[in-house]
Amino acid sequence: MTTITTTTSVTTLSVTAARLAIAASAVTLLLLASLHVLSSEFDPSWRMVSEYANGQYSWILSLMFAFWAVSSWALAVALWSHVRTRGGKIGLGFLVAAGIGEAMASVFDINHPLHGLAAMIGVLSFPVAAMLISVSLGRTQEWATAKKSLLWTANLTWISVVLMIATFAILIVTFTQAGGDMSAGSTAVTTLPPGVIGLVGWANRFLVVVYCVWVITVASRAANLPASRA
């Protein structure tokens, strides 16, 4: 009787956490979309998401990061009973770390010295978590049918990081060639000179979308799985 109760409790917690992860990810994307409308003065092609903190709706950005953190932590809880390999457990640790970075970003905006650390923790931890967790889950019988979608979305997470780094490098190089000076930081630049290739903003937003899509993909599967083994 005790074993049955424990298993049911874990399953209920897993499903509830998975649904919370889906809802939090959806809210994250909705809040990001709302910032495009409310703070339209920021050109999304080259302005980073964090720069919305300098607009009139910085509180919406803080909420976005907070919900993003909740989605990561909720998914970690949802997957705890499903991930059984050492690599998968390490992946869950990185997922929790990603949530910490996202939560830090909700408190420390782009003008705070700790924002860079928050971004590094949140952005870089997530792809490691996605790959380790997806590979681990894909090796189990319960998740075998979802293996392809798990790996596709997981690989997109690190690809989005590479794209953001590449587009940022292109922005810096073309901006410098155009005679611009970014020594004061990107927030001091109001418009891009002719010839500057500004795509890093879209790459940044693509990263947020991809991270949330992976969470939704995994959480949706977790929410519909039968009772997990204790």
Could you identify the residue written with the tokens 């924002």?
115
Task: Measure Cα distances from 147 to 13, 100, 128, 137 in Å.
Answer: 23, 27, 17, 8
CA distances to 9, 72, 102, 123, 160 from 69, rounded to whole Å, are 24, 5, 5, 12, 19
Instruction: Identify the pLDDT of residue 226.
Output: 66
What pLDDT score was predicted for residue 5? 37
Entry field: residues in the chain? 230
The span from the CA of 20 to the CA of 8, in Å, is 18
> How far is residue 169's CA from residue 146's CA, in Å, rounded to a whole number?
35
Q: For residue 123, with 0-12 CB atoms within 10 Å meaning exposed, 13-18 middle and 19 or more buried, which class applies?
A: buried
- Collect the ranges in the chain with pLDDT lower than 50: 1-9, 228-230
Q: In the prediction, which pLDDT does 179 show? A: 74
pTM equals: 0.89
What is the CB neighbour count within 10 angstroms for residue 215? 27
Whole-number pLDDT of residue 183: 55
Please tell me the predicted confidence (pLDDT) of residue 178.
81
